[in-house]
Structure 1
């Protein structure tokens, strides 16, 4: 029997359906269905039955739940034998999107250093498209980034969280007569933003293009902190993950502007090559990330 099949079964029970379990595990729905079918064949029982449009647990499926939980608990204990803090050694190479690195991973990095002091941790910060490429090439062990679409079957990816985006300006910015939700206009200001391949830059520029909105020019910077300081100095506006500007919005150093793409979200994920051996160091880091994002 494949332990992964029991993990999939447990996820379906916890998430309520096959599609949510697939999203949680980073699988396609057909993979989840196939794993459950294999488990049913191995156990010679029917775990789910279709009632209307829904797949529901059979009585035997319900009976399996406590046994699956007990089995997976024992597996976790066995897996932890090789992950005692003092025993973890080796190298771990991670690529991270800058905003996640600066604002979401500090606690994870602190705990990892405490739990695995003998691991040589290497971290590089780059845009999400580049992270995806070096994961496929095997240049790093793990990537923490935003989902940029174009699913690749050679990568295993797991969703961490969705994040809101915010169009920001200086409190001194004269916005009374400006409406960023109105199409067909030229606005006398600059866009201060990251490199061209930034996923949230693509969202805003796509919205401006579709609505025929033009700004004076674009100031391209590679540091979110530098972008925020330039915006606070009223050199232009920017479009960033809201969690990166929450402190400045609270203390009044920045203001939020309504824009037609404000309801867009970006999805943070972690990913690794499907053939990658998950070392004890990598396993620990992933678990700390999952704990920090409250992923079961």
Structure 2
């Protein structure tokens, strides 16, 4: 068993394709196939099965993946230990929620790349809730996760809370609720609401508030992405609960307005990682940049104190 075999195995497991794994590693497809066959011979188990839609891990492959990931990380740590002054290199794979990818990560990426130009950052956007990213960490698909969550946040891998961010309920200026002096949670039960998907943390928060007064009368409309929700809101299809950072420009121009809804709801941003998987030097460098940028993510102290769901 050697490092090239383990790297080929992990690449195929992550991409579910010999072709894509070969492209990512810079190998030929035949070389990747040879490495996988060699590894299967060493471990004396079949690790993949071929399907029409690609390759999939067998049960043995699923069990072996965490060990392969750990061995590869230990290899990188050993290399760093004997060359502590070496320039950081390699790939850091970051998973993030859509709002963080679009509105928070650009500054992180810019500063990190300026400080560590030899590190390749690979970004994966998740539209599901934080549980999907925690699962991706466990599989070794990503090295670091950045997500919005209701406190106490994701569990399992190591995590750290970064900031409290404000959510706002928005609609077009001519929406019936926009003309109210105050919007109650009861009002929202019969109002069309726009969501990313039911697993999204923003809809989870809205459902939590609505549950206190009764079930929704009108089922929410699901659009798959925050941008889709924003376009639907601009088209007058309903109201949406979103992070303020995602709609600041639209609020500034008056294309959308914040509805006078009483709860001051917030969401917490978290960074999570797998201690056995993430290279300590890479993680330390990333956290240094993240801390510098995340200081500006938090909403006002008043918002953080009043926030009813992530205090």
Shorter-chain TM range is 0.5 to 0.7
Residues 35-54 of structure 1 correspond to what in structure 2 (within 5 A)? none
Q: 1:232 deviation in Å? A: 1.3
In 2, Cα distance between equivalents of 1:192 and 1:147:
19
Deviations, residues 31-54 of structure 1 (Å, cap 9, x unaligned): xxxxxxxxxxxxxxxxxxxxxxxx
Q: Deviations over 1:33-80 (max 9, x none)?
A: xxxxxxxxxxxxxxxxxxxxxxxxxxxxxxxxxxxxxxxxxxxxxx9x
Distance 1:290 1:251 in 2: 31
The more displaced of 98-107 and 272-281 is: 272-281
CA contact (8 A) 1:171 1:232 kept: no
User: Which deviates the most, 238-247 or 147-156?
Assistant: 147-156
Q: Given the alignment, which residue of 183, 190, 208 partners 2:186?
A: 183
Equivalence for 1:174: 176
1:253 and 2:255 are equivalent in the alignment: yes
CA contact (8 A) 2:162 2:269 kept: yes
CA contact (8 A) 1:94 1:143 kept: yes
Cα distance in 1 for partners of 2:246, 2:273 equals 25
Question: Does structure 1 retain, via aligned residues, the 8 Å contact 2:185–2:209?
Answer: no
1:267 corresponding residue in structure 2: 268
Cα distance change of structure 1 residues 185 and 278 upon mapping to structure 2, 3 Å threshold:
closer
Give the Cα–Cα distance (whole angstroms) in 2 for the partners of residues 249 and 199 of structure 1: 22
| TM-score, length-scaled by structure 2 | 0.61
Aligned match of 2:50: none
Contact residue 189 and residue 210 of structure 2 kept, 8 A: no
> 1:279 deviation in Å?
4.1
Contact 2:153 2:270 in 1 (8 A): no
Indicate if the aligned counterparts of 1:154 and 1:274 stay in contact, CA closer than 8 A.
no
Matched residues in 2 for 1:102 and 1:273: separation?
24
1:169 shift after superposition:
0.4
Instruction: Label 1:93 to 1:174 Cα distance change in 2 as closer, same or farther (>3 A).
Output: same
1:110 maps to 2:110: yes
**Contact kept? 1:94, 1:142, Cα under 8 Å:** yes
Runs in 1 of length 4+ with deviation above 6 angstroms?
150-153
Match of 2:242 in 1: 240
Q: 1:75-224 residue pairs with structure 2 within 5 A?
A: 82=84, 87-126=87-126, 127=128, 128-149=130-151, 154-175=156-177, 176=179, 180-181=183-184, 183=186, 187=190, 189-212=191-214, 214-224=216-226
- C-alpha displacement at 1:82, in angstroms? 4.4
Alignment partners' CA distance in 1, 2:134 and 2:101: 16
Question: Where does 1:25-36 land on structure 2 (aligned, <5 Å)?
Answer: none
Map Cα deviations across residues 122-153 of structure 1 (whole Å, 9 max, x no partner): 11111311011222333311111123456677
Q: 1:277 to 1:192 in 2, by over 3 A?
A: closer
2: CA distance between counterparts of 1:213 and 1:179?
A: 21
Q: Which sections of structure 1, spanning at least 5 residues, go unmatched?
A: 1-78
TM-score, length of structure 1 as denominator length: 0.64
Change over 3 Å in CA distance of 1:258–1:173 after alignment to 2? same
Aligned to 2:291: 290
**SS in structure 2 of the partner of residue 91 of structure 1:** strand
Root-mean-square deviation over aligned CA pairs? 2.7
| Contact 1:184–1:212 (CA under 8 A) maintained in structure 2 | no
Name 1:74's counterpart in structure 2.
none
**Structure 2, unaligned runs of 5 or more:** 1-80, 297-311
